[in-house]
Amino acid sequence: MSSLALRALAPDVCVSAQLQPEAMAEAAAAGFRSVVNNRPDFEHGPDQPTSAAIEAAARAAGLEYRHLPVDGGYQSPEQIAAFAALLAELPRPLLAFCRSGARSARLYQAAQPA
C-alpha cells in the first residue's frame, strides 16, 4: 500500500506535499513517470531535501524530473506558462509537489486552457 499522500487533479496528474528522496522509488512503483518539484530549495531551512537530492533519486527510479520553484503566495504568468509547458512535455502520470500541495494545484489550475 502506498504511503504517498496524493490528491488527484486529473486522471493522470496528482499533487502531493513535500516528498523525500526515498519517495521517488515509491512514486515510480505507483506508476508515475514524471515528477515536478515546485518548492524552492531551502524554503524552510536545511531540513528540507534539496532538488538535487530528489532529482538523483527520481532519475535512479526511472522518473523524469523537473524543478520549477515558485513562491507559495504568488505564481507569475511566466511560471504558469512554464508549468503548462512541463504538462505538455513530460510523460504521464505526473506527480507535482510543494510544501503542502496547494501551490502545485494552483499552478495546474492556472495552466489549464480557458
Dump pLDDT digits (tens) for 46-95.
889 999 999 999 999 999 999 999 998 899 999 999 999 999 999 999 99
Buried-state track 62-89, b at ≥16 Cβ within 10 A, e below 16: ebbbbbbebebeebeeebbebbbebbee
d(CA 74, CA 107): 10
- Domains (range + CATH), the chain: 6-111 (3.90.190.10)
Find the range with the poorest average confidence among 2-11, 33-42, 48-57, 69-78.
2-11
Using CA atoms, how far apart are residues 91 and 13, in angstroms rounded to an integer?
A: 10
CA 74/CA 54 separation, integer angstroms: 24
Asked whether the beta carbons of 21 and 55 are under 8 A apart, the reply is: no
pTM here is 0.95
